[in-house]
Structure 1
């Protein structure tokens, strides 16, 4: 399993050069954004020669795509780790919270994952599709066949929208617990498993 590091690093000494370059690219991405990222800057941060990154990445776009691919892979691992719930829709709610938590944990990579620069790279598309497939699998356990695709799209859009609003602080600056509670409430409402109506009935499905 990959681990996204946020350390500034003290140079590359041994081991996996590809991973060291990605870690350095991530550190620079979080501090300066993708616009300021370059292979030369990544090499300098990793403590290797200016030509070293070209052994693995032909250009900056390939490096960014590798970061986005790794992000989708790790997001998929978080989604796959969601445990079965005891109530209908619990897995979907937990999955949504896991996805938003990932965005809040890795804001630079998350923005890159959904940015235009990496949207057409085959590896990134494959990793994104794999993560979406996990979402679809969770939804299939709680929804009738005819509702699964629109619900998958709705949940995916909802999670991405909430993540973006939280990252941009358009919803204030909630604590992580408050953010999780917000995601829980919003997804429950979308699933029709929200608070009971005053007349004692449940929310419409």
Structure 2
């Protein structure tokens, strides 16, 4: 039976939000265009009209996620500690986006908008690190940026996967406090 017709103000945004919600709750493998169409009560062809295929949908979700991440990192200012906590906060607030953004195997790697969004978010993270070691050699600066990204992304991933729930390493009910304590122990000099 055909659906009763288009009735959403912004089907594209509705489908993206439903995908992010489903990924956060059920994992990436649970997402399909047909399933999202059922959730939105539209024809199974409607999501394909906006995204083409699953990779197109996930790429759009990643682009949206990198934009949200860049905004949060920029709002945190130049202090690395606050930028790092903003990164971890993003992973907590947007788990569906976070779970997709770094999964190159499911994204359209040749999408220039994705590359640009990824670069903008990376620039915002790097700005917080640059203040920590402004006079370092280019190689030292690259290594420091990699260490900083690995630190915050690793922590965010551990928290997202529930690995910190039973850990004796801190208070998993307050991941931002745990992150601040962890970051305070690391010197990027």
Please give the range of the TM-score, normalised by the shorter of the 2 chains.
Answer: 0.7 to 0.9
How many matched pairs? 175
Distance 1:125 1:117 in 2: 14
Distance 1:133 1:83, change over 3 A: closer
Aligned partner of 1:139 among 117, 123, 129 = 129
Runs of 4+ that moved beyond 3 A:
none
Q: What is the DSSP-based 3-state SS (H/G/I as helix, E as strand, rest coil) of the residue aligned with 1:190?
A: coil
Aligned partner of 2:109 among 83, 106, 120 = 120
Q: What are the Cα deviations for residues 79-127 of structure 1, in whole angstroms up to 9, with x where unaligned?
A: 010135xxxxxx1000100111111222232121122322725233321
Aligned partner of 1:13 among 7, 16, 30 = 7
Q: What are the Cα deviations for residues 131-170 of structure 1, in whole angstroms up to 9, with x where unaligned?
A: 0111122222231242422211111111111111112222
Look up the match of 2:164. Answer: 171
Distance 1:121 1:163 in 2: 26
Listed as ranges, the gaps of 5+ residues in structure 1 are 1-11, 85-90, 193-204
Matching of residue 180 in structure 1 with residue 176 in structure 2 = yes
Look up the match of 2:152. Answer: 159
Deviates more, 1:135-144 or 1:33-42: 135-144
TM-score normalized by the length of structure 1:
0.77
Task: Choose between structure 1 and 2 for higher RCO, CA contacts under 8 A separated by at least 6 residues.
Answer: 2
Look up the match of 1:63. Answer: 57
Aligned partner of 1:101 among 65, 89, 93 = 89
- 8 Å CA contact retained: 1:155, 1:187: no
- 8 Å CA contact retained: 1:75, 1:131: yes
Matching of residue 190 in structure 1 with residue 178 in structure 2 = no
Q: What are the Cα deviations for residues 55-95 of structure 1, in whole angstroms up to 9, with x where unaligned?
A: 211111110111111111101110010135xxxxxx10001
